[in-house]
C-alpha cells in the first residue's frame, strides 16, 4: 500500500486552446503539492477546483474503464486517471499535458473523436450471424475456453483512442483504419458466432490492413494491454491463410516467407516479382538496373545458405504446430 | 427544433436497450447523452449479471433471494417478472455478441455473489458491464437511431398533462435545441456524486432524475442508498463482490474473519447492507486498521485465478492503491455505490406523467426494495430498458402530436440563460464539495436523527446559495464550468429528497439504518416512499408494496 508519502511539487504545463475564440495555442503553467501516487487526472481536477475552472478535458469514471481521459502526458498517449504524477516528475521534472494526436482539438484537451469513430464504424463492428448456422434457440452458444482465448485481450478495449493517437500510419494515411478499429475487427473475425469472417478478411486485406508500419507504438500506448499491433499481425496471418496473396502487402509477406524457405535468405529480384508481378517489375526496372550496376550479384540471386535443412525443418514444425483458428 | 417520435435520455445499458426496443417497433428514435454511449457508467460494472439458468438453480430461488435481499420492500410481482426474464435476457445478449467468460464445458461461467442462494452470476471476467455495453452498442448499430452524443439535458417539457419533448444543448457548440417527442425515456443512471466517497463516475449526477422530478414525476424510495462494502481506500474505486464470490475473504486488524459475527452462514457473501454495516462496526469498535479500514485477501486464490478472473481489479489495486492483490491484502472500506430509489415506474417503465418513462438505475420499479443484490442491476437495465422501450413505442402509436413552441424554449431555458448572464456568485465546485462532505458525514450507513436534521439544514442552505451559482467560464465550447453548475443543482435537489425520506422513515430496513429505530417495522413501514416536487421541497406520501407469495421474515445470512 502507498505509505504516507511526502508531498512533492508538481509543475503542470497544460495545452490551452479554444479555436472558436481565436488566439494561438499556448501552455499554461500550474503548480500543485501532491502525493507521488496521485493520478494526473486528480491533479487536473484539482486545478479546475482550486486554480482554474476553465481548464477543459474529458473525464468520467476515474478508474480506467470509460476511456474518456486519454491525453498526451510528456508526449506519450496515456489515460490521465491511470498515470501517477510521481514517476513523470522524477523523469521529466514536470508534466506537460497535450491533447491526443490525430484528432482535431475542440478545446484544450478535448479532441474531436469523429474520425476515430468513423474508422471504427467502417469495420462493421457488430456480429453478422451466419444464416446457415442460426444461434441456438433459447440457449446460449457453446464456446470452448480455447475459442474464448482467441479473442485474446480485445474485450478489454475501452475505445480510449490512445492507440489511434500514437499511430503514425493514421497520421500518414487516411485509408488506414487505425489500431483500435483493426483490433475490433479481429475480435469479430475470430468470433465463432460471426458468419462473415471471410468477407471481413477479404475487405480489409485490400483496404488498409497492410498499411500498418509495425512500429508497435499502439501496443506501447494501450492502457488495457489489448496489444493492437499483435492483433493486426494476427489479422494479416488469418487473411493470408484464408485467401492467399490478393494485393502487394500480402504477396510481399508470402514472397518473403517462400524466399527464406527456398534459400534461407532473400532473393530481392524474385521478391519484386512476387510482390508486384511482372508489371511491377517493369515499373521498377529503372531502379533495378541502377541497383544491378552497383551490385551485379543481385542478378544472380543469392546462394542457398548452409543451414537450409534446419530452416526447412523449422518451417515444417511451424506448419504442423499452427492450427488455423477459423 | 428537432423532431423524433421517442427520445431516450442516457445511453448506458438501459437507454440503449430501450432505444433498441423502440426502434424495433418501427419508430423514429433518438438517444441523447452527455457522454459517448461507450463511456457510460454501465461499463464500470464489474462482477456479473444474475440469471438462474443452471440445471440445479431455479427462478424461484432467484426471486426469493431478491425479495429477501430487498428486505421485503421490493414489489414481488415485479421481482417475479424480472427473474423470469433473466435467462432470456442473458441469452439474448450472448446472441448479440457479448463475450462472456466460459466454463471448461463451453457453457456460460457462473460465480457466487452476495445474498444469493446459488452461484448464478454470469460474468465476463471482472468487466461484465463493459462486455454488455459493447454487446448492446454493437447490436444497436444495426438499427437506424440518431445518437446525440455529448448533449446535455436541460429539461423535460410537460404541457397539457403529457410530455412534449426535451430541451438540451450540444456540449461541443453550446447550442440549445428543443427536441419534440411524444415520449421521453429517462435512463441517465444514478446520482452517486451526491456523496464524496462513491464508486460512481464523476458523470453520475442524476440529471435525468432531477429533470423528471421537476417535470412532475414521482420519485420513489430515494432514502435507500447502497454502500458497497469493498471500495478501495482513498479513491473509493470499486472492488467487485466477485472478488469475494471467487473466494476472497475480509479480515480486521486482529486478523479475524469478522463476518463470522454478522453472517455466520454465508460470511463474506452476505447481502451488501449487512457486510457494509459489519465493516463500519468493526472499525468503530477499534478493530480496524489505523486510518479506519479492513482488508480483503485474495492471495490464497493464486496468481493465475486472480489475474484472469479479476484482471481489472488487480490492475486497479496496483495502480490506484499501490497494492498487489497476488501478494498483499487490499485495503477496503464501504463507499456509496447504488441508488435503490429513483423515478417511480411500474413494470412497463411508465411514470405518473403520460409519455414519460424511466429505466435502469434512474428508475425505481421497485425490484431492489431497500437493498439491491449484486448482479441484479445489470439485469435490471436490460429487462426494464426493453420494457420501457416497448411501452413507449405502444404509447406513441396512439398519442397526439407533441409540440414545442418558441415560448416553451424560452421558459424552459430561462434558468440556463440566467446562469450564463450572472457576473458573480458562488463556485459550483465549492457547493458540490460541501454537499459531498455533508452527505458522507451525516447520511451514511448508520443514520442518526440529529445528523439527518443537520444535513437537511445544510442541503437547504446550499440550495439557497445555489441560486447564486456563478459560471466563470464564458466559452461556448465544452464548458465544464457550466455543466458543473447545472449538475450541482441536480445533486442538491436529489440530496434533499434522500434526507427528507430518511428523516421520515423511522425504522431500519435494508440499507437504511436508523440508530434510534434499529428494527424493521413492517406494521408501519412496509411501504414505498413517494416524493413529489413542490417549490417548498419534496412532499412525501406512501404507496403499498406489491405482495405475492413471500411473507416478511427476519433476514439472517
Q: Give the pLDDT confidence score for residue A325 in this predicted structure.
A: 47
Beta-strand ranges (E) seen in chain A are 8-16, 26-34, 70-73, 76-79, 95-98, 105-107, 110-111
Cell of B264: 455466520
Q: Give the C-alpha separation, A71 to A79, whole Å.
A: 6
Q: Give the C-alpha separation, B407 to B414, whole Å.
A: 10
Cell of A130: 451466419
Residue A102's Cα: distance from chain center in Å? 13
Q: Give the C-alpha separation, A49 to B481, whole Å.
A: 10
Instruction: Tell me the shortest Cα–Cα distance from A40 to chain B, in angstroms.
Output: 12
**Positions in chain B short of pLDDT 70:** none
Interface test with B, best of A53, A55, A83, A193 (most B CBs within 10 A): A53
pLDDT at A324 over 60: no
Task: Work out the pLDDT band at A3, boundaries 50, 70, 90.
Answer: low
Structural contact between residues B62 and B86, judged by C-beta atoms closer than 8 angstroms: yes
The helix (run of H) or strand (run of E) holding residue B336 is strand B330-339
Q: Give the C-alpha separation, B281 to B522, whole Å.
A: 25
Q: What is the pLDDT of residues A74-96, one digit of tens each?
A: 999 999 999 999 999 999 999 99
pLDDT more than 90, % of chain A: 67
Q: Give the C-alpha separation, B197 to B234, whole Å.
A: 8
Beta-strand ranges (E) seen in B412-554 are 446-447, 513-514, 527-532, 539-544
Once rounded to an integer, what is the mean pLDDT over residues A262-270? 84
Cell of B476: 461556448
Whether the CB of B484 is below 8 Å from some CB of chain A: the reply is: yes
Q: What is the pLDDT of residues B72-100, one digit of tens each?
A: 999 999 999 999 999 999 999 999 999 99
Residue B442, Cβ density class (10 Å: 0-12 exposed, 13-18 middle, ≥19 buried): buried
Whether the CB of A15 is below 8 Å from some CB of chain B: the reply is: no
Task: Tell me the DSSP string of A124-186.
Answer: --S--B-TTSPPPTTSPPP--HHHHHTTTTGGG-----HHHHH-HHHHH-TT---HHHHHHHH
Q: Give the pLDDT confidence score for residue B378 in this predicted structure.
A: 98
DSSP A318: H
> Does B95 contact A135 at a Cβ distance shorter than 8 Å?
yes
Whether the CB of A137 is below 8 Å from some CB of chain B: the reply is: no
**Binding-face residues of B in 4-63 toward A, CB within 8 A:** 35-36, 38-41, 43-44, 53
Of B192, B187, B92, B208, the closest CA to residue B381 belongs to B187
Q: What is the pLDDT of residues B385-428, one digit of tens each?
A: 999 999 999 999 999 999 998 888 888 888 888 898 899 999 99
Q: Give the C-alpha separation, A25 to A4, whole Å.
A: 38
Q: Give the C-alpha separation, B421 to B474, whole Å.
A: 10
Of B260, B329, B322, the closest CA to residue B293 belongs to B329
Greater model confidence, A162 or A249:
A162
Q: Which one of B17, B228, B277, B555 is the catalytic residue? A: B228
Residue carrying the nine cell digits 416524493: B531
Q: Give the C-alpha separation, A15 to B53, whole Å.
A: 52
Interior angle at CA B70, CA B65 and CA B71, nearest 5 = 100
Q: Give the C-alpha separation, B39 to B44, whole Å.
A: 9
Highest mean pLDDT among A101-110, A233-242, A317-326: A101-110
Enumerate residues 6+ apart whose C-beta is below 8 A from A297: none
Task: Work out the pLDDT band at A253, boundaries 50, 70, 90.
Answer: confident
Show the domains of chain A with their CATH numbers: 8-111 (3.10.20.30), 114-133+144-243 (1.10.1060.10), 248-321 (no CATH)
pLDDT at A321 over 50: yes
Q: Which one of B17, B27, B127, B244 is the catalytic residue? A: B244
Structural contact between residues A270 and A252, judged by C-beta atoms closer than 8 angstroms: no
pLDDT at A117 over 80: yes
Amino acid at each position: 500500500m502507498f505509505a504516507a508519502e511526502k508531498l512533492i511539487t508538481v509543475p503542470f504545463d497544460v495545452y490551452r486552446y479554444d479555436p472558436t475564440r481565436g488566439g494561438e495555442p499556448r501552455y499554461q503553467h500550474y503548480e500543485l503539492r501532491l502525493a507521488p501516487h496521485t493520478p494526473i487526472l486528480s491533479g487536473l481536477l484539482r486545478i479546475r477546483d482550486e486554480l482554474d475552472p476553465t481548464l477543459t478535458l474529458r473525464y468520467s469514471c476515474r478508474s480506467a474503464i470509460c476511456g474518456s481521459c486519454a491525453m498526451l502526458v510528456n508526449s506519450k498517449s496515456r489515460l490521465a486517471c491511470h498515470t501517477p504524477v510521481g514517476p513523470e516528475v522524477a523523469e521529466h521534472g514536470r508534466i506537460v499535458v497535450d491533447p491526443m494526436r490525430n484528432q482535431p482539438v475542440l478545446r484544450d484537451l478535448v479532441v474531436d473523436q469523429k474520425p476515430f469513430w468513423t474508422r471504427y464504424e467502417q469495420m462493421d463492428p457488430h456480429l453478422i450471424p451466419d444464416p446457415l448456422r442460426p444461434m441456438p434457440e433459447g440457449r446460449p452458444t457453446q464456446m470452448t475456453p480455447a475459442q474464448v482465448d482467441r479473442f485474446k485481450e480485445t474485450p478489454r478495449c475501452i475505445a480510449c483512442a490512445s492507440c489511434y493517437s500514437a499511430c503514425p500510419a493514421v497520421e500518414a494515411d487516411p485509408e488506414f483504419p487505425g489500431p483500435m478499429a483493426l483490433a475490433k475487427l479481429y475480435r469479430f473475425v475470430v468470433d465463432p458466432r460471426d458468419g462473415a469472417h471471410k468477407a471481413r478478411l477479404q475487405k480489409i486485406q485490400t483496404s488498409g490492413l497492410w498499411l500498418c508500419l509495425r512500429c508497435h507504438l499502439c501496443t506501447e500506448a494501450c492502457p488495457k494491454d489489448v496489444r493492437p499491433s499483435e492483433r493486426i499481425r494476427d489479422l494479416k496471418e488469418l487473411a493470408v491463410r484464408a485467401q492467399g496473396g490478393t494485393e502487394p502487402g500480402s504477396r510481399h509477406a508470402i514472397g518473403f516467407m517462400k524466399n527464406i524457405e527456398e534459400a534461407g535468405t532473400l532473393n530481392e529480384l524474385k521478391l519484386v516479382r512476387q510482390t508486384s508481378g511482372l508489371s511491377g517489375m517493369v515499373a521498377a526496372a529503372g531502379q533495378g538496373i541502377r541497383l544491378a550496376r552497383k551490385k551485379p550479384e543481385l542478378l544472380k540471386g543469392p546462394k542457398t545458405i548452409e543451414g537450409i535443412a534446419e530452416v526447412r525443418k523449422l518451417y515444417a514444425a511451424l506448419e504442423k504446430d499452427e492450427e488455423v483458428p477459423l | 427544433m428537432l423532431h423524433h417520435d421517442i427520445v431516450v435520455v442516457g445511453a448506458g445499458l438501459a437507454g440503449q436497450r430501450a432505444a433498441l426496443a423502440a426502434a424495433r417497433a418501427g419508430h423514429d428514435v433518438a438517444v441523447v447523452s452527455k457522454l459517448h454511449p461507450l463511456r457510460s457508467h454501465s461499463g464500470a460494472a464489474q462482477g456479473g449479471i444474475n440469471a438462474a439458468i443452471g440445471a440445479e438453480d431455479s427462478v424461484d430461488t432467484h426471486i426469493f433471494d431478491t425479495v429477501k435481499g430487498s428486505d421485503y420492500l421490493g414489489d414481488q410481482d415485479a421481482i417475479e417478472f424480472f427473474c423470469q426474464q433473466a435467462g432470456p435476457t442473458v441469452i439474448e445478449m450472448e446472441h448479440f455478441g457479448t463475450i462472456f467468460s466460459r466454463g471448461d464445458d463451453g457453457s456460460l461461467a457462473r460465480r457466487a455473489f452476495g445474498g444469493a442462494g446459488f452461484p448464478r452470476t454470469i460474468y465476463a471476467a471482472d468487466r461484465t458491464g463493459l462486455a454488455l455495453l459493447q454487446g448492446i452498442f454493437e447490436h444497436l448499430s444495426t438499427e437506424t437511431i440518431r445518437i446525440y452524443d455529448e448533449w446535455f439535458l436541460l429539461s423535460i417539457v410537460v404541457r397539457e398533462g403529457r410530455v412534449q419533448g426535451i430541451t438540451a444543448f450540444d456540449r461541443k457548440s453550446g447550442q440549445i435545441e428543443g427536441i419534440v417527442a411524444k415520449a421521453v425515456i429517462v435512463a441517465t443512471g444514478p446520482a452517486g456524486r451526491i456523496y464524496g466517497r462513491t464508486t460512481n463516475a464523476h458523470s453520475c449526477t442524476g440529471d435525468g432524475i432531477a429533470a423528471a422530478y421537476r417535470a412532475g414525476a414521482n420519485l420513489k424510495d430515494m432514502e435507500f442508498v447502497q454502500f458497497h462494502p469493498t471500495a478501495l481506500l482513498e479513491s473509493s474505486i470499486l472492488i467487485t463482490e466477485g472478488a469475494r464470490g471467487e473466494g476472497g475473504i475480509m479480515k480486521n486488524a486482529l486478523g479475524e474473519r469478522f463476518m463470522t459475527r454478522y453472517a455466520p452462514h454465508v460470511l463474506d457473501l452476505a447481502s451488501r447492507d449487512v457486510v457494509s454495516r459489519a465493516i463500519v462496526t468493526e472499525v468503530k469498535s477499534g478493530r480496524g486498521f489505523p486510518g479506519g479500514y479492513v482488508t480483503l485477501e485474495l492471495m490464497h486464490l493464486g496468481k493465475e485465478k486472480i489475474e484472469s478472473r479479476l484482471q481489472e481489479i488487480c490492475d486497479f489495486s496496483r495502480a490506484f492503491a499501490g497494492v498487489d492483490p497476488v501478494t498483499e491484502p487490499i485495503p477496503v472500506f464501504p463507499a456509496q455505490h447504488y441508488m435503490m430509489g429513483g423515478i417511480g415506474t411500474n413494470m412497463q417503465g411508465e411514470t405518473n406523467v403520460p409519455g414519460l418513462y424511466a429505466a435502469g438505475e434512474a428508475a425505481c420499479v421497485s425490484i431492489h426494495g431497500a437493498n439491491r443484490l449484486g448482479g441484479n442491476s445489470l439485469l435490471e437495465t436490460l429487462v426494464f430498458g426493453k420494457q420501457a422501450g416497448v411501452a413507449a413505442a405502444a404509447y406513441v402509436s396512439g398519442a397526439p402530436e407533441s409540440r414545442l413552441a418558441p415560448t416553451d424554449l424560452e421558459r424552459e431555458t430561462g434558468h440556463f440563460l440566467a446562469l450564463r448572464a450572472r457576473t458573480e456568485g458562488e463556485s459550483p465546485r465549492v457547493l458540490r464539495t460541501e454537499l459531498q462532505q455533508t452527505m458522507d458525514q451525516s447520511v451514511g450507513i448508520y443514520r442518526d436523527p440529529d445528523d439527518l436534521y443537520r444535513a437537511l439544514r445544510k442541503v437547504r442552505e446550499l440550495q439557497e446559495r445555489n441560486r447564486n451559482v456563478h459560471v466563470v467560464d464564458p466559452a461556448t465550447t465544452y464548458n465544464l464550468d457550466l455543466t458543473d453548475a447545472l449538475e450541482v443543482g441536480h445533486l442538491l435537489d436529489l440530496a434533499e429528497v434522500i434526507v427528507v425520506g430518511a428523516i421520515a422513515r423511522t425504522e431500519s430496513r435494508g440499507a437504511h439504518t436508523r440508530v434510534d429505530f434499529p428494527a424493521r417495522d413492517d406494521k408501519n413501514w412496509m411501504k414505498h416512499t413517494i416524493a413529489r416536487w413542490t417549490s417548498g421541497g419534496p412532499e412525501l406520501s406512501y404507496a403499498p408494496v406489491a405482495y405475492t407469495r413471500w411473507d416478511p421474515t427476519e433476514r439472517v445470512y
